[in-house]
Amino acid sequence: MAIHRLGLDLGSTHVQLAEVEFANKNDMATGTGILTGFAQVTIPRGSLEGGEVVDVGAVATAIRNAVSIVSPKTKDVIIGVGAESVVVREIELPEMPMAQLRSSLPFQVQDVLPMSIDESVLDFYPTGTLEGASASTLRGILVAAPKALVSQNLLAVDAAGLKTVGVDINAFALIRAQLAGDLSSRVVAFVDIGAQMTNIVICQAGQPRLVRTLSSGGHKATDAVATALRIDAQQAEQIKFNIGMEPPSDRELVPAHDAIAASARSLVDAVRNTFVYYSSNNHGEAIERVVITGGGAHLRGLGQHLATASRLPVTFGNSFARVTIGSKLGADAVRGFEANVPVAVGLTFGEAA
């Protein structure tokens, strides 16, 4: 019997809900499914900050609205977690059975974590084995999330009438939705630019090697425009959309342009520094491509600027690389969202499911 799964991405500007239908469990594990529903509902500014729900009622209302648009066949949802406080780091551990490894994880990693073991949820995703002279070592990604981070998010999901069956890392969902074809065999940097956060995942042959969350995104440019022109955030947002990083013909908008360009440049610098860090920690291994997603990636001129700064080809990502668009949903319902919903789609399948 077909399995339906919901993926819910709780962003600081909107919630995005995706429903995917899988023919069976195997298809769910490999992400071979049909996108049967999608909705994006805006939330009031301030009701979700830095990945954490602040106003449970407001976010629950938005989720409920998204549910009524999708009218899903299931209430089972997987939510994502992503914040600067979530530690996602590559580590090497002595090879041992997974069950033993998971139970010994707290002792193995307590020295490398900046937070108390008792207050965090730990996990380890193996990505490869390294053969040493005497013993082999398991390489993988350690995840440590503060327990308190998702508690409000779970409340909001519950209040909206959905049942959380899994909590996954946004960064993993981001790549899972997009890893297809050529991207699965190369060294690719996936960069998702949101309003408050930017997630960077560098993958080598389909395996995540470096994950970084920057607490910066499109809102910084909006705020800078609002300050420069003494206007409200809504007006500033419109101006930002119109001019982006390109010099405006209207001289009155020059201060807005300067504010946007400065903010975008500092974000691009931070992204590029992450690329340099990756290469210097991996014997100079070069990143071959950059794939950008998220609302912030649409800032005019940003992709070009990132390409120049990193000297790498930059393209928009495809959130639907692994799924087909259901005929009932129709291509029109998701047109324009190709580069905007990788997390919601990627949450519907994979390990956490």
Stretch that binds Mg ion, among 10-18, 93-101, 235-243, 258-266 (CB under 5 A): 10-18
Distance, CA of 282 to CA of 209 (rounded, Å): 10
**Residue-wise over 75-114: b if at least 16 C-beta within 10 A, else e?**
ebbbbbbbbebbbbebeebebeeeeebeeebeebbeeeee
Residue with tokens 């995840």: 143
* Helix (H/G/I), strand (E/B), else coil: 141: strand
By the rule CB under 6 A, 12 interacts with ligand ATP = yes
- Residues in contact with Mg ion, counted by CB under 5 A, come to a total of 2
The 10 Å Cβ neighbour count of residue 136 is 10
Cα distance between residue 182 and residue 199, in whole Å: 21
What do you get for the CA distance between the two ends of the chain, in Å?
Answer: 16
Min dist CB 36 to Mg ion, Å, is 22
Based on CB atoms, which residue is closest to Mg ion, 88 or 105? 88
Q: Which stretch binds Mg ion (CB under 5 A): 8-16, 115-123, 132-140, 237-245?
A: 8-16
Contact call for residue 37 and ligand ATP (CB under 6 A)? no
Residue 74: CB minimum distance to Mg ion, A: 23
C-beta of 90 vs 237, nearer to ligand ATP: 237
Q: Which amino acid is present at 233?
A: A
Q: Is 218 in the site for ligand ATP (CB under 6 A)?
A: yes
Number of residues located near ligand ATP, criterion CB under 6 A = 20
Binding to Mg ion, residues 158-217 (CB under 5 A) = 194
277 binds, among Mg ion, ligand ATP, none (CB under 5 to 8 A by kind): none
> In the set 3, 5, 7, 11, which binds Mg ion (CB under 5 A)?
11
Cβ-based neighbours of 174, under 8 Å, separated by 6 or more: 190, 192, 199, 201, 293, 342, 343, 346
Q: Which is nearer to Mg ion, 11 or 140 (CB)?
A: 11
Query: Which tokens hold the place of 85?
Result: 């406080």
Extract the tokens encoding 174.
Answer: 């981001």
Q: d(Cα 340, Cα 321) in Å, to the nearest integer?
A: 12
Q: Please, what is the minimum distance in Å from the beta carbon of residue 178 to Mg ion? A: 14
Q: Which of residues 219-238 bind ligand ATP (CB under 6 A)?
A: 219, 222, 237
Measured distance CA(294)–CA(182) in Å, rounded:
21
Interacting partner of 237 out of Mg ion, ligand ATP, none (Cβ under 5 to 8 A depending on kind): ligand ATP
In the block, which residue shows the tokens 């077909």?
2
- Nearest residue to Mg ion, using CB? 194
Residue choice 30, 161, 241, 330 for contact with ligand ATP (CB under 6 A): 241
Q: In what order do the strands lie in the sheet with 120-131?
A: 87-94, 136-146, 120-131
Which of residues 140 and 342 has its CB atom nearest to ligand ATP in the complex? 342
Residues 6 or more apart whose Cβ sits within 8 Å of residue 97: none
Verify binding: residue 296, ligand ATP, rule CB under 6 A.
yes
**Shortest gap between Cβ of 284 and Mg ion (angstroms)?**
32
Nearest approach in angstroms of CB 189 to Mg ion is 17
Q: Is 11 in the site for ligand ATP (CB under 6 A)?
A: yes
Residues of the shown chain interacting with Mg ion in the complex, contacts defined by CB under 5 A:
11, 194
Residues of the shown chain interacting with ligand ATP in the complex, contacts defined by CB under 6 A:
11-14, 194-197, 217-219, 222, 237, 240-241, 294-296, 298-299
